[in-house]
Structure 1
């Protein structure tokens, strides 16, 4: 039977922590996440791949503890060594994962690293994102009517001063406006009603936004909204032929400047699709994910899937708590 983090006997340090008068922002946030995360379903999908206790060697850490530690890393942008230190230093984090400083062994950075590799090896991050979205859909928070599409660039280290004397070959540079960026790009398809993400694609930064559009739409979508990066007359004609509303902003050209009606249309479409920007705000500002942490697209994509799932829960937390 899979259960949440086990209850521990209260220590004197915990009693002193309990007596403080004001709950911190971290405590309030973790209490909300404790309530809205579908723990049982997520643990169930990981459990078949998680090592079992054997007769020899040290028994593995409880699965529920390791999953909670992994989520803490995503919420607070902590590396494996920083996460190990945080478990020793921060009482609210220890409580969230179900560990007592005086009684329990703290997982070291290697244990934390191995759990992340387990998720990457078996593609469990994408499965967890799908489970979270299934939960949101069951609660009526993720509807199937229309999709907003957008993309954002995540920076990668451009320096060649490393062991290989070169940049990550799976990352690429791209020009946005008059500025060059090096890294990867997150493409999302979000529900037009709730703003929650239902589909994700991760590519090198030089992949065009329009190249990922077919992968971000659902079969039963009746409308699509996007910025000027998704202008494509062929797709526009196909969408209208299929009865799908094409809400992509119009782009001006030198011989054909935008008319007043065109500008009003763009303004109206922008007011609809602006909700998709909330997803990137949470990922970059709330969770601090502005730069890739690992080499290669696959490892970073696994983290992105986790971040998107947790972002959906964060954005829908008040509705879920009701």
Structure 2
């Protein structure tokens, strides 16, 4: 019998044809590149965390702009350093976005890890401020009031023996912990219970403007810290409206008086108690506020779409970095939506 011929035809220009097809479908990364001034972001990172120089020479580090783009990709698709290295090697769209199409060598997992350590939390905060500046340059001033809320962010669970817990409470290190084991133990994350479910990790508190649903301020902490502790920290003084929305976890007489003294209009939901249930008027007010306050849940939902509100890191400092980069990437994605429309869905690896 004669062998069947393959139905797949080969072409020397197949790669060019595939690239043209991808461009016709629309590369979401090109839309990000068209809206965001990445050189300006890189300049701000270099200002707070200057590039290292070696007197002995050696291979120069990758441009800061390239590494910033990699960090955005990493958070946008919730990739580990190992997966980021693989996807850079595998995906032409990633290489094009990072300016690495013709590069002989690509950043590996160690390079990405060292860059994150170099810029640290200060670098992530500088990126957040720089993106906010570009948001304002595009004309998206905080409008319509602000919505304040917090969300729990799970971290890798830790398991301690009873003796370990006793030592940790005394600010002592268990004697049988090797340096390698110590590096894998998170002594900063805490447990908390919400809606009957226990969560181990950290907390992200944000202030979002009602009009554009952009994160204007943020603060991070451990999971056990109450949401209301960071209310004043994420309060934005530059919103064009004086209305402040929040759920039933934030009300207090002192806060109401303070907001009024500062010229704000409180739209914080009332909370009933066992002997003092909410009146029908208060329930209607809460329902009206909930319709507006729900917009902040869209922000947290968008973070879930970027791979989920979770981190793989150990310790408060790395959690602060990861959560701040999560907010940076969300604002970038939201700005692209406001400027050129929704990004087409791209399957995450």
TMscore range, shorter length? 0.7 to 0.9
* Greater relative contact order structure (CA < 8 Å, 6+ sep): 2
Residue 7 of structure 1 aligns with which residue? none
Alpha-carbon distance between aligned partners in 2 of 1:207 and 1:223, rounded to the nearest angstrom: 25
Alpha-carbon distance between aligned partners in 2 of 1:217 and 1:192, rounded to the nearest angstrom: 13
> Do the aligned residues in 1 keep the contact of 2:200 with 2:223 (CA within 8 Å)?
yes
SS state of the match for residue 229, structure 1?
Answer: coil
Q: 1:72 to 1:54 in 2, by over 3 A?
A: farther
Structure 2 residue aligned with 1:240, among 242, 260, 263? 260
List aligned pairs for 1:77-226, cutoff 5 A.
77-100=78-101, 104-120=104-120, 123-143=122-142, 146-160=145-159, 163-164=181-182, 167-219=185-237, 222-226=242-246
Q: 1:54 to 1:68 in 2, by over 3 A?
A: farther
Which ranges of structure 2 fall in alignment gaps of 5 or more residues? 1-11, 161-179, 342-349
| Higher alpha-carbon Rg | 2
Task: Give the stretch that moved more between structures: 263-272 or 161-170.
Answer: 161-170
Q: Is 1:255 aligned to 2:275, yes or no? A: yes
SS state of the match for residue 301, structure 1?
Answer: helix
> Do the aligned residues in 1 keep the contact of 2:155 with 2:202 (CA within 8 Å)?
yes
Structure 2 residue aligned with 1:292, among 302, 307, 311? 311
TM norm structure 1:
0.87
Which ranges of structure 1 fall in alignment gaps of 5 or more residues? 1-10
Structure 1 residue 316: Cα displacement: 2.6
Residue 5 of structure 1 aligns with which residue? none
Structure 1 residue 132: Cα displacement: 0.9
Alpha-carbon distance between aligned partners in 2 of 1:22 and 1:132, rounded to the nearest angstrom: 26
Q: Is 1:283 aligned to 2:282, yes or no? A: no
> Do the aligned residues in 1 keep the contact of 2:156 with 2:312 (CA within 8 Å)?
no
> Do the aligned residues in 2 keep the contact of 1:83 with 1:109 (CA within 8 Å)?
yes
Alpha-carbon distance between aligned partners in 2 of 1:147 and 1:205, rounded to the nearest angstrom: 23
> Do the aligned residues in 1 keep the contact of 2:158 with 2:186 (CA within 8 Å)?
no
Q: Is 1:72 aligned to 2:73, yes or no? A: yes
Residue 46 of structure 1 aligns with which residue? 45
> Do the aligned residues in 2 keep the contact of 1:133 with 1:142 (CA within 8 Å)?
no
Q: 1:215 to 1:90 in 2, by over 3 A?
A: same
- For this pair of structures, how many residues does the alignment match? 307
TM norm structure 2:
0.80
Q: Would you identify which runs of 4 or more consecutive aligned residues in structure 1 move more than 6 Å? A: none
Q: 1:66 to 1:280 in 2, by over 3 A?
A: same
Per-residue CA distance 1:61-96 (angstroms, 9 max, x = gap): 233222211211111111111111111111211121
Residue 327 of structure 2 aligns with which residue? 308
> Do the aligned residues in 1 keep the contact of 2:38 with 2:69 (CA within 8 Å)?
no
Alpha-carbon distance between aligned partners in 2 of 1:193 and 1:182, rounded to the nearest angstrom: 33
Structure 2 residue aligned with 1:266, among 277, 286, 300? 286
> Do the aligned residues in 1 keep the contact of 2:143 with 2:212 (CA within 8 Å)?
no
